[in-house]
């Protein structure tokens, strides 16, 4: 029993990180139908920049905030320099561009931050909290809280604010959105900033547990992508549920089968989703009409 609980705790923790990555996927996908495979690099940058800023003497909270802001700026730059000039290209080309951007960011990070594994102190100490025979790190609570908070904030943003609804309108029909006066270029820029910022936040929260290196991004991207697919691409609720599910499946696979198969779990899920329910748990059928 306590063993199961222990697996669940670790599953929920990594699941929260995947959920944040999946939410990042969702925002850009909603605004542009593009799956941004550089999403994992934003997570890496969040951790790396926080580490570097902290090592340079900045207090941890300030280092974390500057990492999020810088990464968001980088997301905007990526949109302006790589995505916007290719506007009008097929979505597949844009997706390939994001893979290119991902490789570029990884290479640049390797040069700037080196190949070592980095970390920084947990926010509220390292003393594990005991719950019914299992333990959970205080940092895990930060990660889980972060994912839930981001989800709620996004949900409010998309349902309550005019700007949020403008993003949804753009995703639904770009030309129609322009016709009613929505600046769709700005919506794209905003989506990249939000997505990159959320990715960086995931990196900031997770690094004390998972550690970070220049090449951790791709794993986050693939697992977050699996989460987003499982939940239904484009649906924030799906991203949250999908991300947590992937984390749990991974932890249970590692616990009861073998940790060798841990990484395979996400890919089995991707395959299963593509075969049996391509629209995911909460995805909607596409309703294009000519």
Partner 1 sequence: MSALLSIEGLGIGFGGLRAVDDVSFSVRAGEILSVIGPNGAGKTTLFNMISGVYRPDAGRVTLDGQDVTAMEPHLLARRGLSRTFQNLQIFQSMSVLDNAIAGYHLRESGSVLADLLALPASRRRARDAEAGARALLARVGLERAAEREAGNLSYGALKRLEIARALALDPKVLLLDEPAAGCNAVETEEIDHLIAEVAASGVAILLVEHDMKLVMRISNHIVVLDHGEKIAEGDPATVSRNPAVIAAYLGTEEAPHADG
- Residue from 2, 93, 110, 183 touching partner 1 (CB under 8 A): that is 183
Q: Is 181 in the site for partner 1 (CB under 8 A)?
A: yes
Q: Which of the ranges 38-46, 79-87, 91-99, 165-173 carries the binding residues for partner 1, by CB under 8 A? A: 165-173
CB 182, min distance to partner 1, A:
6
**Helical residues (DSSP H) of 1-137, grouped into ranges:** 2-32, 39-55, 60-78, 91-113
- Residue from 49, 182, 240, 269 touching partner 1 (CB under 8 A): that is 182
Stretch 220-279 residues interacting with partner 1 (CB under 8 A) = none
Q: Are strands 129-131 and 134-136 parallel, antiparallel or unpaired?
A: antiparallel
Q: What span, in angstroms and rounded, lies between the C-alpha atoms of 269 and 281?
A: 12
Q: Is 149 in the site for partner 1 (CB under 8 A)?
A: no
Show the CA angle centred on residue 224, arms to residues 155 and 254, nearest 5°: 125
Which is closer to partner 1, CB of 203 or CB of 234? Answer: 234
Q: Which of the ranges 132-140, 251-259, 272-280, 281-289 carries the binding residues for partner 1, by CB under 8 A? A: 281-289
Q: Is 166 in the site for partner 1 (CB under 8 A)?
A: yes
Q: Is 289 in the site for partner 1 (CB under 8 A)?
A: yes
- Residue from 4, 89, 127, 163 touching partner 1 (CB under 8 A): that is 163
Binding-residue total with partner 1 (CB under 8 A): 28
Which is closer to partner 1, CB of 47 or CB of 232? Answer: 232
DSSP 19-42: HHHHHHHHHHHHHHS---TTHHHH
Nearest to 196 by CA among 18, 17, 38: 38
- Residue from 93, 124, 172, 258 touching partner 1 (CB under 8 A): that is 172
Q: Is 175 in the site for partner 1 (CB under 8 A)?
A: yes
Burial label, 95 (beta-carbon count in 10 A; 0-12, 13-18, 19+): middle
Q: What span, in angstroms and rounded, lies between the C-alpha atoms of 167 and 172?
A: 9
Alpha carbon 3 to chain centroid, angstroms: 28
Q: Is 179 in the site for partner 1 (CB under 8 A)?
A: yes
Nearest to 42 by CA among 114, 102, 103, 89: 102
Question: What 3 state SS string does 216-284 have?
Answer: CHHHHHHHHHHHHHHHCCCCHHHHHHHHHHHHHHHHHHHHHHCHHHHHHHHHHHHHHHHHHCCCCCCCC
Stretch 184-203 residues interacting with partner 1 (CB under 8 A) = 184
CB 87, min distance to partner 1, A:
12
Q: Is 154 in the site for partner 1 (CB under 8 A)?
A: no
Q: Is 152 in the site for partner 1 (CB under 8 A)?
A: no
- Residues in touch with partner 1 (CB under 8 A): 156-157, 160-166, 168-169, 172-173, 175-184, 284, 287-290
């Amino acid at each position: 029993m306590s063993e199961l609980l222990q697996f669940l705790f670790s599953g929920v923790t990594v699941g929260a990180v995947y959920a944040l990555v999946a939410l990042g996927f969702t925002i850009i996908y909603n605004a542009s139908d593009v799956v941004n495979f550089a999403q994992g690099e934003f997570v890496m940058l969040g951790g790396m920049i926080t580490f570097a800023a902290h090592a340079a003497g900045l207090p941890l909270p300030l280092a974390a905030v500057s990492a999020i802001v810088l990464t968001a700026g980088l997301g905007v730059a990526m949109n302006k320099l790589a995505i916007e000039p290719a506007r009008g290209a097929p979505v597949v080309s844009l997706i390939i561009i994001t893979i290119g951007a991902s490789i570029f960011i990884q290479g640049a990070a390797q040069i700037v931050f080196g190949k070592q594994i980095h970390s920084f102190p947990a926010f509220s100490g390292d003393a594990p909290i005991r719950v019914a025979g299992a333990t959970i790190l205080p940092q895990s609570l930060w990660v889980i809280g972060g994912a839930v908070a981001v989800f709620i904030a996004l949900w409010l943003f998309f349902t309550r604010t005019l700007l949020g609804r403008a993003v949804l309108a753009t995703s639904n029909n770009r030309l129609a959105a322009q016709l009613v006066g929505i600046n769709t270029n700005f919506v794209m820029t905003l989506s990249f900033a939000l997505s990159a910022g959320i990715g960086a936040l995931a990196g900031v929260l997770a690094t004390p547990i998972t550690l970070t290196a220049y090449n951790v991004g791709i794993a986050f991207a693939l697992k977050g992508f699996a989460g987003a697919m499982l939940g239904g691409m484009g649906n924030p609720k799906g991203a949250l549920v999908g991300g947590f599910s992937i984390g749990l499946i991974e932890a249970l696979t590692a616990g009861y089968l073998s940790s060798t198969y841990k990484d395979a779990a996400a890919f089995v899920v991707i395959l299963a989703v593509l075969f049996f329910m391509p629209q995911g748990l909460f995805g909607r059928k596409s309703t294009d009409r000519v």
